[in-house]
Chains A and B, each alone.
Chain A
């Protein structure tokens, strides 16, 4: 079954074609990567997925529904971790989890979630006093507190030190094990390669390549996804 279907998605801001005909599908239970450099159209694409933006053209279906029309209903079933989003400085970790849990009809047990994601020792710490890695861990847990079927993670590890990054990877791997559909947006090729079943490589609003990281690497005759990206982009210029 397809959890997400995006067909010829287009979105323009002024003169800038942020997304210029993007098509992909994500199967239920899959971890799907959207990778590319800044300005490739990644964030606009995921914001259309969660109904924060209305596409200019093209079709988006998430769990069989149109996010632009059914944002509220879909929000019960989608968890999102947005790029650079944050919480009030003085809110405490446990408080945030409990509060976000109250937004959903069938929420996960926030105490269990706190335990499972290693946030228990931070329960009484204020958001503003957390380290970058701890903040990301909380934002990830908040994306899961509604017991979502689809989780969208945008720039999960940007700004984290290497140890916190690896730790976050481990958490995403744990999440994969639960059978949740994950859309992982990143400008780190190694991260996408390590975590994703399939990947769409985006450049200038278009899909340049799609498939398993191994396939893309093999097709381009390169050694890594990052090299594959530069081979694809280089050939285009």
Chain B
């Protein structure tokens, strides 16, 4: 436990030391909020966007670089398992996403008078599931794509269309029909739905179940395909 805490604290510091993840997970959503003149309806989608940027945009490159640069192998010579480092990366991503999200929500409420979230416990559960789901897809990418550059690139190529088509960055109502239908099949869409419903104050179980299902499947796929070196 001591080792896992130390690993997680370090991973979180490393994330916050990275200007790119700092910008995209914290400053960029705030900029979008300002551009939308503080439209509170956009906030739940932006939360999904933040965790997608971290879990799919950043995580695959980080994990692939740990493999390529033999950080994982070095850890395998210590008493702890390299799996712990991947777990620490997951927790750090969730925590960094949470920090960006809390800041965004607080700004929306305090500076733009947005309505406070209706059901905070369900919103928290939706956020956690959405964040872990994004990371689990990130682990799949890191398992399939071997080198660091490739994993970063594929992560971006998966993440960017997804945040636009799932309703995270722009409302799906604004999309043409064909593109909207693609969104029905994207794993981030139930994440956006879950966050939006919880924000408005009701509780829908179905999107949460879908998120949990995606997490289970993606983790199994990543665990099967992942190579340590």
Residues of A within 8 A of B65 (CB): 88
How distant is A65 from chain B, measured CB to nearest CB, in Å?
Answer: 13
Interface string of B54-84 (1 = CB under 8 A from A): 0000000000011001110110111111000
Chain B interface, DSSP helix/strand/loop, else mixed: helix
B7 at the interface (CB under 8 A from A): yes
8 Å CB contact of A103 from B66, B69, B73, B78: B78
Q: Is there contact, CB below 8 Å, between A84 and B76?
A: no
B202 at the interface (CB under 8 A from A): no
Q: Is there contact, CB below 8 Å, between A90 and B17?
A: yes
> Which of B9-27 touch A at CB < 8 Å?
10, 13-14, 17-18
Q: Is there contact, CB below 8 Å, between A52 and B77?
A: yes
Q: In the complex, which residue of chain A has the Cβ closest to the Cβ of B11?
A: A88
Residues of A within 8 A of B17 (CB): 90
Residues of B within 8 A of A102 (CB): 2-3, 5-7
How many of chain A's residues touch chain B, expressed as a range? Answer: 20 to 34
Question: With the chains together, A80 CA to B74 CA distance in Å?
Answer: 8
Chain A interface, DSSP helix/strand/loop, else mixed: loop
How many of chain B's residues touch chain A, expressed as a range? Answer: 20 to 34
Interface string of A58-90 (1 = CB under 8 A from B): 000000000000001101101010101111101
Q: In the complex, which residue of chain A has the Cβ closest to the Cβ of B84?
A: A103
Interface string of A152-175 (1 = CB under 8 A from B): 000000000000000000000000
Q: Is there contact, CB below 8 Å, between A95 and B10?
A: yes
Q: In the complex, which residue of chain A has the Cβ closest to the Cβ of B66?
A: A88
A218 at the interface (CB under 8 A from B): no
Q: Is there contact, CB below 8 Å, between B77 and A88?
A: no
Question: With the chains together, A98 CA to B3 CA distance in Å?
Answer: 10
Q: Is there contact, CB below 8 Å, between A82 and B78?
A: no
Residues of B within 8 A of A188 (CB): none
A residues bordering B, Cβ < 8 Å?
Answer: 50, 52, 72-73, 75-76, 78, 80, 82, 84-88, 90-91, 95, 98-100, 102-105, 142, 146
14 pairs from A and B in contact (CB 8 Å cutoff)? A50-B77, A73-B79, A76-B79, A80-B77, A85-B74, A86-B69, A87-B69, A88-B66, A99-B6, A99-B7, A103-B6, A103-B78, A103-B80, A142-B74
